[in-house]
Amino acid sequence: MDKIFIHEVGPRDGLQVEKETVPTEIKIEWISGLMKSGMDIIQIGSFVNPKRMPQMADTDELFKYFSTPENKPGNVTLAGLVLNEKGLERGLACGVEMFCMGVSASNTHSQKNTGMTTDEATVRIIEMAKSVIESGKSVQVSVQSAFGCGFEGKIPEEKVLGIVEKYIENGIRNISLADTAGHANPFQVKNLYKKIFDIDETINAAAHFHNTYGMGLANSFAAFESGVKYFESSFAGLGGCPFTAVASGNVCTEDLVNMLNLFGLRKDINVDAICEVSKKASAFFKRDLPGFIYRTGKIPE
């Protein structure tokens, strides 16, 4: 079976909704621990206006720190989220290896998140993605609110597939479907990914599920069965989009990797190392976090 890739989004998506700002030195400690676990991609932060999102104010500093050989294992890719051209310029200047950007299939969510309509954002993101490819860096584009929206409800599949088709037409091969509102169910996941692979079976498909209504891990399994190879998750199950109607955490990384381990996959990733970071985060925020395995431990083999 082809390799499954784990894309850790906790330092960005996991922390962006937290009201208590995590100091840079603690972020460095957590990210270093995640790197030691052996996961593939870590999304360190987003290049947004620090006044709008103070939690991400140190993103440039973090990338500069981890871009040095002594602070970064060679097997991990440093990813960062960008929303506009200014963010892209900042990312190119401080060592981002993989740029993540996306378009919401919900006009309401798009306006709240970016101030643009879906159509406006699609044109802009495609041009940005093409410039990243020309620069020699990696890029992943997403369709946010792909399975539903807390403001608009059900999102027509045709709208999601239309955005995907535009990505493919412009030579963009790494495409993620994001369940921003957590509305997805396993049957819907299988159906939508089948239709995407019918458009082009050679794309690198990714999945980004939120656990708002408790179906995140089930949806991840459905995506796995559908042929998805890239999974975005957050240590301890932290996170949620602050521009949705109901913000809730991501699929928990250690829970997801533990499930894959039970399938005989990705046993090279050290689940205990991720759990240590989750325990530290739980102590920092002074509350239990949504993940399970960091509290229960793995099922004994």
Burial class (CB in 10 A: 0-12, 13-18, 19+), 214: exposed
Residues 131-137 have a mean pLDDT of: 95
Whether the predicted pLDDT of 278 surpasses 90: yes
Percentage of residues in the chain having pLDDT higher than 90? 83
Residues 271-279 have a mean pLDDT of: 98
Catalytic residue among 94, 241, 252, 275: 241
Whether the predicted pLDDT of 114 surpasses 50: yes
Average pLDDT, the chain: 93
Residues in the chain: 301
SS3 state at 118: helix
Give the closest residue to 233 by CA, choosing from 46, 91, 40. 40
Provide the pLDDT for residue 109. 78
SS3 state at 207: strand
pTM: 0.95
What is the Cα–Cα distance from 294 to 208, expressed in whole angstroms? 21
Whether the predicted pLDDT of 240 surpasses 70: no
Domain 5-296 has CATH 3.30.1490.110: no
Place of tokens 């894309």: 7
Whether the predicted pLDDT of 90 surpasses 90: yes
Is residue 241 annotated as a catalytic residue, yes or no? yes
Provide the pLDDT for residue 182. 92
What is the Cα–Cα distance from 222 to 82, expressed in whole angstroms? 28
Residues 164-173 have a mean pLDDT of: 97
